[in-house]
Structure 1
Amino acid sequence: LSRARDNELWYLSKERGSKPIKLNHKLNEGAAVSKTDMTIAFTLTHEQEPALKEGSSQLIMFDVDTRGDVPKLINKRVVHESKDRSCVLEAQDFFDGNTKLTFTCYEPGPDASTMSIDLKTKQVINQSNHAGYQEVEGIFPNGVYTLVESDRQCNWLGGKRGSGNIDIWKLKLDGTGKDFVRLTTFNDYEGGKASNPVISTDGKYMAFQTANTADPAGVGYGILLYTFE
């Protein structure tokens, strides 16, 4: 309950000795943070914003204004909205010069889709384009590929579908869902999974965590480094 209802956004300067400052805004899960300017995007649901219809979710963007003594959120804009639980939204990453955003659409049952939205035209594309669990994670610097937590290996390994039995995959953002390559094989072993991957700014490394299929999402037991050759 606390994770969904009480999740708050804070600002921490890179300056040594800085302390986190509350931005006085709740959010669902994490935020997408631009690598080039002070723009962020995140999701709101009824749990954080009671004015929203139960089951609905919004993707919203803000600019972080640091010109004053206290940082604050300005220029709010709603970029996408789902009216019900047929698609619960979660923001992930900006790409193509902050003109596009990846996000996850959590569907009824164990399924989830990797999606993208063009922030200018508002066109939404299902990038994974395949049944099953495909939660988008860290994006590659060129914006051509992204990492995905997926249960696709259950097609041959068996096991319960959904966010428990996952490994890390690499997906090309071309809307076909066909260029989809498995990067980790932790789920080949009973109780094993890999999750929460991010890509270094030079695209040479992936950091991720090892986890257990029986634990809630986000729980991990160590951070590992994967090198791309």
Structure 2
Amino acid sequence: MNKLYIALLIFVALPGSLLSQDTNKSPLEDLPDYITQITYFGERADWSHDGERILFIEKTFGDVFEVEITTGIIQPMTHHFFHEGFVRALYLANGDILLSGAREFDSKNPWKSRDARNAELWVLKKDLKSPPVPLGVHCKEGPAVSRTKMNIAWALGTTIYKGEIDYDGEKPKLKNWKPLFTAGDLPTPAKGWDLETQNFNPKNENELFFYAFGGQFGFQAEVLGYDMEEKEFTNYSNSKDTYDEAEGIFPDGLSMLIESNRHRANYKGMKEFLTLDIYKLKLDESGDVERITYFNDNPEYKASNPVVSDDGRYMAFQYAHAADAAGKGRGILILDFKAWEKKKGKR
């Protein structure tokens, strides 16, 4: 992966060394030298298992693309069949792609296609020789995908489910799927809140990470884990009155990236989740966090949807305007954690 970092520096010339304190600037105008912009459109990145490619959505309800990091070559993954657009694309453990998208799209009512009543899960074979195969289940927002096994988890309504993707001949299908818990099972304060799955613990596949969001004003979110053997919940963020959304997990299972508004939890008297940046959360129940990005130093921008490479060296994430819809991205960037560690205290 050291060669990867060198190639990234060759591929994109990086301006500046540290994020600017000038809030009139776009954060892209003065990126620190440990962050590289790899695409100028796209959202919801996911790392290939070898760390050489990034999968991403063109836009919400758009096509899926893959970028080769060392060359910057972008290739379409969903141009070989007609479809109504996708909202998620994630690598499965065998290299195939799990998609989420609806069978129909109405430009006059686009968000209907993102609704759990319409968004379905599909498997796209990595050879790209055929259309994706539907798994026969609907999904609310993003599914969770194991990086080592063919296990997935997803939310539907107030319930989180888990299942296994199996290949009956050449055709993938979902088997052994079952409900794990409902929103009503959650501990206070998250009891009854909305749910979205995020990750399996890479060091303990029996633990599923997810986040719950709600509260009096609908802006609060907590990062939780569920032990599928012990049937117990753990609240890892424990941050009252802030928005902490679970994102990519580190391969050692000790920390997780989150989107959070802790730096602007009550910005201009407003309690909301548009003022996001990326933090690193310790998974030891301490609730300790460390801020990673400073895009929201200019309140018109935000950084979000971070994922960690399988070796833990890099983070892929997106930037957007603060007022953009949740999940919308305007380009994919990569952060080198090794370089960040050396310079994080010099900001």
TM-aligned CA deviation for residue 99 of structure 1: 1.3
Does 17-26 or 192-201 show the bigger shift? Answer: 17-26
Q: 53, 56, 73: which is aligned to 2:174?
A: 73
- Counterparts of 1:1-229 in structure 2, within 5 Å, are 1-4=112-115, 5-45=117-157, 57-83=158-184, 86-95=192-201, 96-108=203-215, 109-131=218-240, 132-155=242-265, 158=268, 160-177=270-287, 179-229=288-338
TM-aligned CA deviation for residue 158 of structure 1: 5.0
Contact 1:149/1:166 (<8 A) preserved: yes
CA distance in 2, matches of 1:17, 1:181: 44
User: What 5-or-longer segments of structure 2 have no aligned partner?
Assistant: 1-111, 186-190, 339-347
TM-aligned CA deviation for residue 14 of structure 1: 2.2
1:53 alignment counterpart: none
Higher RCO, 1 vs 2 (CA within 8 Å, ≥6 residues apart): 2
CA distance in 2, matches of 1:156, 1:162: 8
TM-aligned CA deviation for residue 68 of structure 1: 2.5
Contact 1:38/1:63 (<8 A) preserved: yes
Contact 1:106/1:112 (<8 A) preserved: yes
CA distance in 2, matches of 1:164, 1:137: 16
Contact 2:275/2:299 (<8 A) preserved: no
Q: Which is richer in helix? A: 2
Flag the structure with larger Rg: 2
TM-aligned CA deviation for residue 155 of structure 1: 4.7
Does 139-148 or 78-87 show the bigger shift? Answer: 78-87
* % identity of equivalent residues: 42
Aligned positions, number: 217
Contact 2:142/2:154 (<8 A) preserved: yes
1:132-165 CA distance string (max 9 Å, x none)? 1000001011111000000000158656333211
Please give the TM-score of this superposition, normalised by the length of structure 2. 0.60
CA distance in 1, matches of 2:291, 2:268: 16
CA distance in 2, matches of 1:43, 1:192: 29
Contact 1:157/1:188 (<8 A) preserved: no
Q: Cα distance 1:184–1:158, how it changes in 2: closer, same or farther (>3 A)?
A: farther
User: What 5-or-longer segments of structure 1 have no aligned partner?
Assistant: 46-56
Q: Which is richer in strand? A: 1
Partner of 2:171, secondary structure, is coil
Paired letter, 2:211: T
Paired letter, 1:122: K
2:83 alignment counterpart: none
